[in-house]
Amino acid sequence: MLRTHACGEVSEKEVGQTITLCGWVDTLRVSGKISFLLLRDRTGIIQIFLDKTLTEKYQHELKKESVVLVEGLVNKRPDNQVKREEKTGSIEIAGKGIELLSAAETPLPIDVVAETTTNIDKRLDYRFLDVRREKVKNIFMIRSKVYSKTVEFFDKAGFVAIQSPRLTASGVESGAEEFKIPYFGKTASLAQSPQVYKQMFVVSGLEKVYDIGPIFRAEKSHTTRHLTEFIGIDMEMGFIQDENDVMTVVEEYLKFLLAELKRVCKEELEHLGVTINVPKTIPKMTLTEARTILKDHGKILPDNEDLDAEGERIIGEHVKKRHNCDFVFMLEYPWAKRPFYHMRPEGNKKITKSFDLLFNGVEIATGAQREHRLEILEAQAKEKDIDFSKMTFYRDIFRYGCPPHGGIGMGLDRITQRLLNLDNIREAILLPRDPERLTP
């Protein structure tokens, strides 16, 4: 490796040692004949003292964001010089030699500073520079842990990781629009859900599966919660009693995820000013109950409708006040709003055994018990005017021994957004795709 230490990891233990650091020039403060170089890498910022000779040689070369290698001696720093932005505040490096590895052009196309006024579109155009900002970097350090802790949870809970195809014939998930692409004289669709496949591999005998991967939705929506490509966290499990078994796993997952994030992302969360409240239990509310609450807020929700964004927000606030919880499972969604494969309870054809999960007043997941009895599934498809006979390989799943099963689809980007109170889902994904954005 080029370096012996990372900037944020040098401590008083190294005092007296000569070390090599690499990083980006955060700031160069020239003060008369000497200067102070604030060198930054992923782990933090460290101060390097440059004497007259080094200052004269490098003061015009060390443009902000240039990449340099610095060799220097670790010294203890007088207390009165300790700066807050530097993690290694109690030590300083006396620069001995500098090598410019890559000069940055000036001016920079966006501000690489703590607080910027550059708009989000410009920032996304230069996302790799935007991520050099501590706040943005922290979002993605946390998102990375959301991903790895999710894998850890499902793995420990006995789920099998599957990676289902993203190039598909046509999807089963009705509703969302598909991206169509030419495929050797045919037309393929980009998967808008791994629904078919996760059911297929429960039925295959793997019993409990999860699939984390991109999901494509050709929806021309311009909201702060929708992307055309996002990362889905999907799971499906067999031999359930009913949809409550799915909710139990999801509750365990969220408790694990949030507790682990609190533990492993302590510094990043603190820097972003985010407090995580790990739920003890997640309250459940039927849409019928929600209708009453919404009515008290002057909002009428008809029987066949599900919650819109405003409805979700009102319910989120209500649950926070009432139960001091950031999450709520919403139950009994109307059949009119759910896909044909959601199971309906005995004796009530108007609702489904499905649920949504809200996090701080926004949907982050939809789940359900699936209909596994072929005759009923066929009848349900017919009710929705779907030609089930054309869905041969989906239909086959139910023909050769299919356990009662259910599952959920969550959004990794949505979870990260809600967790960190980001005002736009685009802040939670490195390179968002939306109807206007296909680059970089």
Q: Which residues bind Mg ion (CB under 5 A)?
A: 366
In the complex, what is the shortest distance from the CB of residue 286 to ligand ATP, in angstroms, rounded to a whole number? Answer: 18
434 binds, among Mg ion, ligand ATP, none (CB under 5 to 8 A by kind): none
Burial annotation 40-71 (CB, 10 A radius, 16+ → b, else e): bbeebbbbbbbeeebbeebeeebebbbbbbbb
227 binds ligand ATP (CB under 6 A): yes
Q: How many chain residues touch ligand ATP (CB under 6 A)?
A: 16
Least distance CB 187 / ligand ATP (angstroms): 22
Partner interacting with residue 426 (select from ligand ATP, Mg ion, none; CB below 5-8 Å by kind): none
Residue nearest ligand ATP by beta-carbon distance: 411
Q: Which of residues 348-407 bind ligand ATP (CB under 6 A)?
A: 363-366
Q: Residue 217 interacts with ligand ATP (CB under 6 A)?
A: yes
Shortest distance (Å) from residue 320 CB to Mg ion: 21
Partner from Mg ion, ligand ATP, none contacting 410, C-beta within 5 to 8 A by type: ligand ATP
227 binds, among ligand ATP, Mg ion, none (CB under 5 to 8 A by kind): ligand ATP
With CB under 5 to 8 Å by kind, the binding choice for 413 among ligand ATP, Mg ion, none is ligand ATP
Shortest reach from residue 234's CB to ligand ATP, in Å = 8
In terms of CB distance, is 212 or 269 closer to ligand ATP? 212
Least Cβ distance, residue 356 to Mg ion (angstroms): 6
Cβ-proximal residues to 330 (8 Å cutoff; 6+ apart), any chain? 284, 285, 286, 287, 290, 307, 315, 355, 356, 357, 358
Out of Mg ion, ligand ATP, none, which partner does residue 145 contact, by CB within 5 to 8 A per kind? none
| Residue placing its CB nearer to ligand ATP in the complex, 22 or 410 | 410
Closest separation between CB of residue 103 and Mg ion, Å? 49
Nearest to ligand ATP of 129, 358 (CB atom): 358
Q: How far is the CB of 366 from ligand ATP (least distance, A)?
A: 3
Among 23, 95, 232, 238, binds ligand ATP (CB under 6 A): 232
The residue among 50 and 428 lying less far from ligand ATP, judged by its C-beta, is 428
Q: How far is the CB of 306 from Mg ion (least distance, A)?
A: 8
Site residues for ligand ATP per CB under 6 A: 217, 225-227, 230, 232, 363-366, 409-411, 413-414, 425
